[in-house]
Structures are given as structure tokens and as C-alpha cells.
Structure 1
Amino acid sequence: MVRSSAPRVVKVLIVDDSAMVRKVLTMGLSSDRFIQVVGAASNPDTAWKMIQDLRPDVITLDVEMPEMDGISFLRAFLPKARIPTVMISAHTRDGAQTSIDAMEAGAVDIIPKPALAGLASGLPAMMADICARVRAAADAHVMLGRTHPSAPRAPLAARPSAPRAPRAAAGPEILALGSSTGGVQALGAILPMFPADCPPIVIVQHMPEAFTGPFANRLDGTCTVTVREAQDGDTVEPGCVLIAPGGKRHMEIVPNGRGYRIRLVEGPAVCFSRPSVDVLFNSVARLAGPNAVAAILTGMGRDGSAGLLAIRQAGGRTLAQDEETSVVYGMPMAAWENGAAEVALPLEDIPARMLAMLAQRPHRTELRA
């Protein structure tokens, strides 16, 4: 696949009822030479007119607006103009819940809104992250709700991987998933497909701090497996999905008798991410070896590709989401190009294939509850 190395200029429309936030976002986004702020609207009516007149590539949208909340506006305009939308959300429980609603409705990313008192001191670091995510959003495939293509498609043939590393003793069975942009929709679509008695599932989904807890609670209400935000020391058990807390620490598995437990560890960002998929996957490769099955889902960047390759080299089985069903084909593409993924599949085919791969392992070690 040939891709242009020259980035295009991304036209951005800012929608926020706060004049201060509009000013800060305009200044910060405009500092990136590959981003052009084409307008800033303070209310949904003005925003809709500007969408039609200016045809932006990306919209940043405030979750909480007085005349019409962000998710209502998103649901109104997205079916008419499928423009990738990044939600700007406060670090509150209500803000997190609404942001998750927005992601399920088709928003492609969430950016936390810092307190205005901290904008000046934290602006450079904040805007570097926001600019990167807005640029990535410009290439996102907007998918309304949780719908994904269901027509059967042949999987890509696997490319040769690097030579396998010496295999360590295999730990109990475990499934691992990594995702970023578009992952809220993707995980919401596939986790209900796993049976209540499935092997334990550990997940890193790139989300801001305070957002992964409400997200896990939302998933728990739609799945037969138990889903919760992981805590340090949690036992990894069959029928349970543990999602890494967003923000401050990495998540890995460590030995716990005949099974595993969760360890949350301090450390610098890996692939610009904390928690990092690579950190989790590397621990899965070390401990589970051939009794692990892992998949990289939609997301920007390369996080997870090295860890997925480590799992494959340790004898585990590996997959990546295909381009057609990915909101952003960054992380899965990296995992495909470095030989980490054995096969690339449509999103809806991944759960059944992961379980089938696990059942095919020659030396299975069950995890005892």
C-alpha cells in the first residue's frame, strides 16, 4: 500500500460556547503549520451554517453547551455531514458519560478540557497532543453508532514474521486487546460477543484519566462477561474484562500463583501513550507465551505493534483489525507492516477468531478461577 508522506493541511472548525476556550484552541491549533482554523462558533445554529459554508475536515465540539448539548448536535449533523468530530470534555463524571455517548454516536476522539486557571502553564504540552489528535482525526472513517460492515470478506494473507524467540513456560490462557481512536465503538461492538465463560481479557484503550471507569461500567451493562476498570492487585479471572485506567500509569500482568494479577506501574509514556498497549502486550508475551491471543484494533500511531510482535515470537496468536472497519488505520497498519499480526480481519470477525485460535493451541493451560 502506497501512502503519501506529505501531510495535508487540515481545516478545523471549533464549536464551543466559551470565548476563552475558543481563543485558546484557535491560537494553539493555528500554531501547527498543517492545521488551519477556518472558523469558531459559539452555538449549534452558527456551527451548522459554518459547516455548510466552510466544509471543515475536522470539528472540535464542546460536550456541554447551553442551547443544545454537544451529543444532540453531533447526532443532528453527523448523518448529514460525516465530518470527523473530536469532543472537548470536562474532567467530570457527567462529562465522561456524555463523551462516551458521543463516541458511541460517531465522535472519533475525546480531548479533556483543562481548567481555565491552568491553561497558560499547560498550554504547550496540551496543544501538542491536541494538534496530533486533530490531524489524526482528519483521516478517520466516521461510523455512526456501532454499525460496521457485515458482508464477509476474505482475510489478508499473513506476512512472514521475524524469527521466534525461545519460548518460556506457558502461563494460563489470556486474551489481550489494544485500541485507541475509534476503540470506544470497536470495543462496544465486539465485547458483547465474548461468552460469559471465556478466558480473561485485558485491554488498553487510550482514554483520558477519569473516562475509563464510566466506559467500563457502560460496557458491563451490555456484556455477558464482567467488565471493570482495573485496579492494582486485581486478580485476572475467567469471564472478566479488565480495562487499564486512563492517564497516569501503565498496566501489566504479573504472576499470581497459578494465574495472574494486575500491576499498575509508573513510567514514561511509551509510543506517546500511558497506559501503553506495548507495555501490556510485552508482559503477556513474557508470561502467557503460546497461551495468549492478542489483537490490535483501530487507533492512531504505532502503540502495540512491538508488543504484538513479542507475543507472536513467544508462540502466541495475533490479529489486527482491517482497514475497512477501522476508524483510524494506524495501529493495525503498523502491526501488519512489521509482521506482528498473523491476519487482518473485519472487526466483527475478531472475537470468534480469537477464541478459535485459543482452542487450537497445542498446549493449553487453563486459568483457575
Structure 2
Amino acid sequence: MSASTATPTRAVVVDDSSFMRTVIGDILREDGIEVVAEADDGAAAVEAVSEHRPDVVTMDIEMPGVSGLEAVERIMATTPTPILMLSAHAGERADVTFEALDRGAVDFFTKPGGEVTAGMPAVETQLRRAVRSVANADLSVDADAPTADPAVEPARYLENPTVIIGASTGGPGVVERVLSELPIAADARVLVVQHMPDAFTARFAERLDGCTDYAVREATDGARIGGGEVLVAKGGRHLTVRNEAGGRLRVALTGDPPEHNVRPAIDVTMRTAAATVSSPLTGVVLTGMGRDGTAGLQRIKEAGGRTVAQDEESSAVFGMPRRAAEAGAVDVVSGIDGLSEAIVGTISEDIP
């Protein structure tokens, strides 16, 4: 079907500010997304979704009456629909945004400002991309499903393994699941690149720190990481691996141009690691839209490392894993129940 005859993505825009509804609606319409309804509070949002059955909802969090959080819960209980949270919350208040994901929202985006700035075209492009990505999400996927029986740990792990995990839409819950199941005995050095606004990656790191035996923190320029530690790429900056010495990696943050319209980009971290790390290296690509991670996995394979990708059945958006697999860049494809076991298999002495 040609782009001209394809059915347009249909959206409901929810915000208590009339001005903000106009801003968001105009941004979406300019990209051919049909805004079928607007709502100024959570109750009206639930009714609009029930009536119009859109492909995607953009949802404000704080609204009078029924909040965005409660609206998400009601929509997912009555008319399950992919929801993108538009949040102005950051820092300590970012918890409310992550709670929206816990209640069923697919992803979130920093609410665009109304002022005209030099950076607005980039923000508009990113918002449209986020809306289209969320609209394609498979709501049957549940990253919080009961964990499978723990994998039998190998007799010995390889020394100083590095694991790079890349994810986008639908990724936060999967990353939490993988890290919660990754054995601390593996003593891996883990780098996480999650496409996420810069105001939220610090809180994401804190959440991850609470779900795993690994010590997790947000990456800073010049940070070093050793076994049993995780660095989360800072939003708005590329995470690069600069050197390896004494069992530790040193990383740097750069403001180089976005790749695949994102920063941090998974490819940047993976290719710099492939060029720098001489010890065992594993690349992992999880759910997300686009092709970020494909070239990175290819570099890791060329450097003698191993690669893993999430399967279609358990991916909210099977874009990045599909592209990587089609390019021949993936050694192992696994469902969410087996992802940690697959990673363990790449960093143990039992690998084939």
C-alpha cells in the first residue's frame, strides 16, 4: 500500500491546557497524523478513547479531576490503547512518569514548550517519531510477567565481560527485568543505552539500582566502571567507551550530532566499545522502533564479540531487533523469559 493511500495514524490529544492541545495537535497534523479528538481531563480522555478507538493517545499527567495516571489505568482496563505520556516532571518528581509506565503507558516524552526556539524543529520531529512508535506498540507484551526458572549458572564466567544493552520504545520494563535476573556472579560491566529524555535518565538509573544486585548509576563524563556495576547513558549525550585498563572501562559523554535522530544512540556506544574493549564483549538490542543498534551489533561481531536480540513475540515494537536480525548481526534471538540466560551464555566458558 502506498503512503498516499495508507490509513493515517489516529490520535487523541489529552491536556488540560487548550494552548498545549493546540501546539501538540498542530505538530501531529503537520506529519499526517489525524487528531480525532481532544480532551481536557482524564475522565474526558477515557470517554474519547472509548468513542473513537484511536491508534495512540498523548496523555498529560497532572490535570484537574481525573489525573493522567488514573486515566491510563482506566483506559488500559476498558479500551487498551497505546499511550504516550507527555511529562514536564523531572528529577525527584520523575517517579510519577515511571508510575504511568507501570500502569500501562508505553513510553513518555518531555512536553514541548509553547515558545518558538531554534531547537523546536528537532523536538517536533522527535515527538512525531515517538507518537508513531508508540502507535505501533503491541500491548499484549508484558515485561513484568512472572520470571522463568533461574538459569543454571555456568561453572565459570569469562573474565571481565562487558555487556551493552540498547533499548527504545517499551524498553524500561524489559531492561529492569533483564538486570534483575542477571547474576551478580557474572561480575559484568554493563552499559545501558535507553532512548529517554535527559531529565529522566538519572531517575531511571535509581529505579534500576533498586531492582538488581548490580550497582547502577547514571553515566558522567570520565566515569569508570568495573565488574558488578552498571552505567546508564545520560539523556541528550552519547556514551562512548574510551579505554580499558585494570579490569575497568572509562567512558566519556559527547554532544556529537544525533544518530538515527536520537542521542544517546546505541550504535555510538557499541562501536566505540568494539574498537576499545579487548575482553569479552556482548551487545544486546531490545524492543524499539528504527535501526539504532544494527551497525553497533555488526561492529561487535566483527570484533569477535557476541550479540543477542529480543524476539518479536515479547517486543512492544519489533523494529530495532528485526533490523539487526535481517542484517545478520544477531547470534541469539530470545524471548523476554530467556534474555538473561542468553546473555549469561555469551559470557561463560560454556559458550559453543
TM-score, length-scaled by structure 1: 0.86
5 Å matches for 1:76-155? 76-116=74-114, 118-119=115-116, 122-142=119-139, 146-148=143-145
CA distance in 2, matches of 1:313, 1:291: 13
**Structure 2 counterpart of 1:331, which letter?**
M
Which of residues 242, 245, 248 is equivalent to 1:257? 245
| 40, 54, 57: which one aligns with 1:56 | 54
Matched AA of 1:227: V
Paired with 1:239 and 1:183, the residues of 2 have a C-alpha distance of 21
- In structure 2, the partner of 1:74 is 72
> Judging changes above 3 Å, is the alpha-carbon distance between structure 1 residues 127 and 278 closer, same or farther for their aligned structure 2 residues?
same
Which residue of structure 2 lines up, in the alignment, with residue 193 of structure 1? 181
Q: How many residues are matched?
A: 339
Displacement, 1:124? 3.2
Q: Does 1:357 pair with 2:315?
A: no
Q: Distance in 1 between matches of 2:303 and 2:350?
A: 13
1:179 to 2:167 alignment: yes
Where 2:317 maps in the other structure, the secondary structure is: coil
* 1:252/1:264 contact within 8 Å kept: yes
Tell me whether 1:306 sits opposite 2:317 in the alignment: no
Match of 1:47 in 2: 45
2:154 equivalent in structure 1: none
Following TM superposition, by how much is the alpha carbon of 1:281 offset from its aligned partner in structure 2, in angstroms?
0.4
Identical counterparts, % of pairs: 36
Map residues 271-310 of structure 1 onto 2, 5 A cutoff: 271-289=260-278, 291-310=280-299
Per-residue CA deviations over 1:143-178 (Å, capped at 9, x if unaligned) read: 5764348789xxxxxxxxxxxxxxxxx994211100
- Corresponding residue of 1:30: 29
Give the TM-score of the pair, scaled to structure 2: 0.90
Residues 1:290 and 1:143: Cα distance change in structure 2 (over 3 Å): farther
Deviations 1:323-343 (A, max 9, x none): 110011111111101011112
1:254 alignment partner AA: R
Cα deviations by residue, 1:292-334 (Å, 9 ceiling, x for unpaired): 0111000111111101011011110101100110011111111
Deviation at 1:184, TM superposition (A): 0.8
Gaps of 5+ in 2: 150-157
Q: Measure the CA separation in 2 of the matches of 1:246 and 1:126.
A: 14
Deviates more, 1:72-81 or 1:307-316: 72-81
